[in-house]
Structure 1
Amino acid sequence: MTAADITQKFRTFLSIERIFLLLFLIAFIARFAVLDLKLFHHDEAVHAWFSWRLLTTGSYTYDPVYHGPFLYYVTAGMFSLFGDSDLVGRIIPALAGTLMVPLVYPVYRLGYISGRQAVAAALFLAVSPDMVYFSRFLRNDIFIAFFTLLLLVAALAWLERGDRKYLFLGTAAAALGMCAKENMPLVLAIFVLYGAYAAWRGAIRLPPRWKTDLLMAAVLGAGIMAVLYSSFFQAPDVLLDGWLRAIEHWTAMHQQQRLGGPPYFYLMLFGLYELPLLLLACIALVQFVLPPKPADGAAPGGIDAVFNRLIRVGMPSAPDRQEEFFRFCIIWMLGSLMLYAYIGEKVPWLILHQLLPLVFVAVYRMDRDRWKSVLAVIAAVFLAGMTLHVAFTPADVNEPIVQVQNSEELRTIMAAIDGADRAIITTDSYWPLPWYYRGQTNSHLIYLQPGTGIDTLLARNASVIIAHDTESYPLIPGYTKTTLRQSYWFSVHDNKDRLLEYYVTREGRVGSVNWDLFTRTGSA
């Protein structure tokens, strides 16, 4: 058997389907391995506690501060089946992140990307640090990313096959996304506006019954949203004013810039965690918009030609579905980057909604430019290494991706609480304790106001006293004082003069909230 025969047999064995199965397994392991390695983030603890309360009391009412109802109902459902714990709370986000990888396959089967492009995109989704980290995280954004990709696949299938079941699937994805978080309308706006423009200029052909199909889909989507937002019609008033309260709240947050940052905030995160993908996407953008050199050797058409390549003014005689797909992905990516650069709330998980279209843009022409395939392999190695660092380091990591993460030192504090017959908490910043000490497990906890007098504390005869270090006591007679981190974050302000050094070494100053742990002398 010749080397050529062996190569051919290997290629036959290593089919696209088998490669996708392998990538699915990689994504599954990356998202589910030691899923409870890290303590809940502050927001995770809040989400889990509301889900537990929904399960135990049946009480839930939509509040835009905490986003949509989808997360709470699915998490409460998981708690009812498998028990309430950190690990169980993260299963559905991990599953959503894992299922994004095989969702690339239908895009390939429908003919919008090649096999090599599909494999590269799926590989990037499988090992991306941000995708993996926030798939192991009880927040809404991985749900939005999953529903966005499912909507894309369903919309393409509906356009290609004309079967309304795909439209209904996409509608369900869009409606559940709307029930997950208030930024789903941004995704829908980009999709709908581009779809309408592409249909107007003849780049896509709508099915014959598209008006009837869309009307039925609108009814389905409205029904799904009405059921969840009204808490299964227990709070029908939310349907009247919930949307208005959401607009008012998030408009106020944008103006307040409670968690603000510069417009280039997400570009810095891309540079830290997704640099190879950012570079590939920039190369792809240049390749796409630069017009090909005319056959007669004349000079290209300049900025007008670049704009026409991007917007594609005019009716194409024979639309190229792959070119049109990448044109859409570029508009989607650029629109998302500009929207989130403008929005005042700058938090790391919002990068997912910019990263998803960027992944597809990054694989442009990867089937024609072999050197890009080499770059893709190098990129995957870089991404996997970064993922191991941010997601699987069993200690506090000085990274912006963690936002404000509960410190591993909190385990020492909780161990002291567990061993105490009575524990006093004298701080208003007590999360995530309500989650970790819920139900009967909080019977030995006493919450007092910050600055409570020492005589009052001593009268309670507690084994453990916890205070915020800025509201603490120099000493409490009969107690040993230890200062530990409760939560921590990467401090841009404290590292602004050494960002390049930080980028290379990942060593820098850390901001933190600290608790003073007072342990009664002689107590275990």
Structure 2
Amino acid sequence: MLAALVARLVALDVRVAHWDEARVGYWILHTADTGWWEYRPIIHGPFVQHVTRWTFAVAGVSDFTMRLPVALIGSALPATALLFRSRLRDVETIALGVILAANPLLLYYSRFMRSDLPLAAFAFVTLGAIVAAIDTDRRRYLHLAAIAFALALTTKENAVLYPVSWLGALTMLAVTAVVIAYRAGDDPLESVTRPGIAALRRFHSWRRTLLVLPGEMLVVLVFFYAPRSPESDAGLWSALADPALLPGVVWEATIGSAAAVVTWAAPDKRAHPDISSLGDLGPLLVSYAPFFAHFLAVIAVAAAATTIMALAGLRWRRRPIVTFCGWWALSGVVGYPYVADIKAPWLAVHVVVALAIPAAVGLVVVHDRLRQARLDGRDVATVGLAALLVTSGVFVVGSSAVVTYQQPPHGLNIVAQGGQPGGDVRPVLDNIQTVAGDDDIPDVLFYGDLAVDNESYNDRSGAAANWYYRLPLPWYTETANATVISAPDLESLPADPPPIVIANSTYRGDLEAELPGYSVRETAIVLRPQPVALRAFGFSYQLKGKTYVFFVDQEAVAGAVSDDG
């Protein structure tokens, strides 16, 4: 855990905020300032929003503290391996902890303020607690499972896909048991009914505890999903002070929030045709294929070693928990590219946690076979297994270094996702921090297609359309307490422009004549400075890119520095 903690905290604030981090962080600051909060599924569950706001209150506002809660959860993830020790050998339990600590994809998204890693961690705890409860008959694990899954439901809407995948994996596990029994000449039905009867008996002995679990989950869900309000007639704290308001708050936190989640099930939120239209598979396959290929590419870049070891575990040491996780992972590989609305590398996190147990078993079996193998003129097993272990280790270290720690990220870093700025924006961000003051004098001006009619409208999570093009810059102007204004065209420019003017690079020529004496800096505001076309085997794939231009009045910056001094 200590190594996982160091790997996640070192240089945690070096990377400029991703667009998603910036917009959520911006609205967390607004909640902290106003006391208003309500669940909006477009920015996912409330867990990260509330916990990060509390972190800001204790440790201040920065890129580091914004990512700290997720980093701590990622650091604790290796400890969850202990929940599976009844199904794993001691060395396999250790290997599971190592994989959860070192996998490059889990490492990257442990250093990213987004809900996928917390969701995967809480879901993994849920599964581990259920397994531990079954194997040890200790009811305390049931309480852990209930609270962990309730927390998972507060992170992101696709938490509901976990029990669906688990149910599917159990079904396939039962089918596998029937097939094995049939081939062995045993009674196929007995292979299913015997564990089913045992499970029913166990559930019957747990009946009183099981009745308590929904209440525990309800408390967690209401605490996180209930609206917050500074007024005395609405919100969670008002309801706690006046119990008459509690039913309405509970309703809003449960039924109201569940209804809002339907947003993600709407047809316009899916990138593929409705699966019910299977009469014509052509459009579905055409739209699905690029998402599926992208998903596999992410796994190849950041989880190849984990996948190979998982395949080794599934091949050489098949047992119920390993086979179950194999089916679970397969459902994610096939399903997540379909439910995705964009090509989102973070979704692969949910497959990696499923692969972790088979990979841990596979890592140990490869090591065991290496120790047992003998090198002679005919047997090359030792060389092959040793090469597999070495290359896997080199891949993990190399992939982590390039994908996670290389800053700014390379334009082909598929794990970083397109919304990650690929240029060095830090000097401009430092200038914004320097010139920002507590007065109402404008510090930053957004020009052209970055301009909005009313800056105050952006304080809500339904901000003006052009505001989203500014990301991730609003997070930094807000943390600096900078005064921001807009100018849609040259005629709207003030006679005395602010010390920092920001625009799409296409406007550079227009603005240079209007801003004499300003230094000019162009940098990529997304992963690539310009669009890139990749061509291979007759196919072409377009990668988006965008560059912004930053005009800085260095005299004003120097004056602000001297005033601070």
Alignment of 1:445-464 (within 5 A): 445-448=484-487, 450=488, 452=489, 454-464=490-500
Aligned to 2:328: 332
Alignment of 1:35-434 (within 5 A): 35-108=12-85, 110=86, 112-192=87-167, 194=169, 201-203=193-195, 205-206=198-199, 207=202, 208-231=204-227, 233-234=235-236, 236-252=251-267, 254-256=269-271, 261-287=290-316, 323-345=319-341, 346-364=343-361, 366-369=363-366, 370-371=368-369, 374=386, 375-376=388-389, 378-398=391-411, 399-403=413-417, 404-420=419-435, 422-426=443-447, 427=450, 428=466, 429-434=469-474
Q: Following TM superposition, by how much is the alpha carbon of 1:253 offset from its aligned partner in structure 2, in angstroms? A: 5.1
| 2:115–2:155 CA contact under 8 A, matched in 1 | yes
| 1:45–1:432 CA contact under 8 A, matched in 2 | yes
Identity rate, percent: 22
SS at match of 1:94: helix
Decide whether aligned partners of structure 1 residues 362 and 245 sit closer, same or farther in structure 2, where only a CA change above 3 A counts: same
RMSD: 3.1
Aligned to 2:534: 496
What's the CA shift string for 1:459-511, capped at 9, x where partnerless? 243223211224555333343463522422369983432599xxxxxxx9974
Letter of the 1:74 counterpart:
V
Decide whether aligned partners of structure 1 residues 366 and 38 sit closer, same or farther in structure 2, where only a CA change above 3 A counts: closer
| 2:445–2:486 CA contact under 8 A, matched in 1 | yes
- Distance, in Å, in 1 between the alignment partners of 2:142 and 2:358 is 24
Decide whether aligned partners of structure 1 residues 221 and 513 sit closer, same or farther in structure 2, where only a CA change above 3 A counts: same
Decide whether aligned partners of structure 1 residues 476 and 41 sit closer, same or farther in structure 2, where only a CA change above 3 A counts: same
Q: Following TM superposition, by how much is the alpha carbon of 1:160 offset from its aligned partner in structure 2, in angstroms? A: 1.8
| Structure 1 range deviating more: 332-341 or 46-55 | 46-55
TM-score after normalising by structure 1 = 0.78
SS at match of 2:523: strand
Q: Following TM superposition, by how much is the alpha carbon of 1:63 offset from its aligned partner in structure 2, in angstroms? A: 0.5
Q: Following TM superposition, by how much is the alpha carbon of 1:114 offset from its aligned partner in structure 2, in angstroms? A: 1.5
- Distance, in Å, in 2 between the alignment partners of 1:94 and 1:378 is 27
Aligned to 2:514: 477
Aligned to 2:280: none
| Structure 1 range deviating more: 475-484 or 401-410 | 475-484
| 2:409–2:416 CA contact under 8 A, matched in 1 | no
Letter of the 1:117 counterpart:
E
- Distance, in Å, in 2 between the alignment partners of 1:510 and 1:175 is 38
Instruction: Point out where structure 1 has 5 or more consecutive residues left out of the alignment.
Output: 1-23, 290-322, 501-507
- Distance, in Å, in 1 between the alignment partners of 2:149 and 2:114 is 18
- Distance, in Å, in 2 between the alignment partners of 1:478 and 1:77 is 42
Q: Following TM superposition, by how much is the alpha carbon of 1:25 offset from its aligned partner in structure 2, in angstroms? A: 2.0
| Structure 1 range deviating more: 245-254 or 487-496 | 487-496
| Structure 1 range deviating more: 472-481 or 127-136 | 472-481
- Distance, in Å, in 2 between the alignment partners of 1:76 and 1:336 is 31
SS at match of 2:297: helix
SS at match of 1:90: helix
- Distance, in Å, in 2 between the alignment partners of 1:476 and 1:416 is 22
| 2:70–2:111 CA contact under 8 A, matched in 1 | yes
| Structure 1 range deviating more: 400-409 or 77-86 | 400-409
Aligned to 1:17: none
SS at match of 2:78: coil
| 2:41–2:260 CA contact under 8 A, matched in 1 | yes
| 1:114–1:367 CA contact under 8 A, matched in 2 | no
Q: Following TM superposition, by how much is the alpha carbon of 1:439 offset from its aligned partner in structure 2, in angstroms? A: 6.4
| 2:127–2:145 CA contact under 8 A, matched in 1 | yes
State the aligned residue count: 455
TM-score after normalising by structure 2 = 0.73
Aligned to 1:517: 550
Letter of the 1:433 counterpart:
L
- Distance, in Å, in 1 between the alignment partners of 2:14 and 2:369 is 38
| 1:62–1:69 CA contact under 8 A, matched in 2 | yes
SS at match of 1:39: coil
SS at match of 2:14: coil
What's the CA shift string for 1:221-251, capped at 9, x where partnerless? 1332123212365455353332222123343
What's the CA shift string for 1:11-44, capped at 9, x where partnerless? xxxxxxxxxxxxx222111111111111111111
What's the CA shift string for 1:392-441, capped at 9, x where partnerless? 12323220111121244222332343454733112132222322122672
More helix by share: 2
Letter of the 1:423 counterpart:
V
Q: Following TM superposition, by how much is the alpha carbon of 1:132 offset from its aligned partner in structure 2, in angstroms? A: 0.6
| 1:488–1:510 CA contact under 8 A, matched in 2 | no
- Distance, in Å, in 2 between the alignment partners of 1:409 and 1:366 is 39
Instruction: Point out where structure 2 has 5 or more consecutive residues left out of the alignment.
Output: 175-190, 229-234, 237-248, 274-286, 371-384, 436-441, 451-465, 558-565
What's the CA shift string for 1:42-81, capped at 9, x where partnerless? 1111222222222222211100100011111111111111
- Distance, in Å, in 2 between the alignment partners of 1:285 and 1:381 is 23
Decide whether aligned partners of structure 1 residues 477 and 248 sit closer, same or farther in structure 2, where only a CA change above 3 A counts: closer
Decide whether aligned partners of structure 1 residues 253 and 215 sit closer, same or farther in structure 2, where only a CA change above 3 A counts: farther
- Distance, in Å, in 2 between the alignment partners of 1:143 and 1:416 is 34
SS at match of 2:481: helix
Q: Following TM superposition, by how much is the alpha carbon of 1:333 offset from its aligned partner in structure 2, in angstroms? A: 1.1
Decide whether aligned partners of structure 1 residues 76 and 418 sit closer, same or farther in structure 2, where only a CA change above 3 A counts: closer
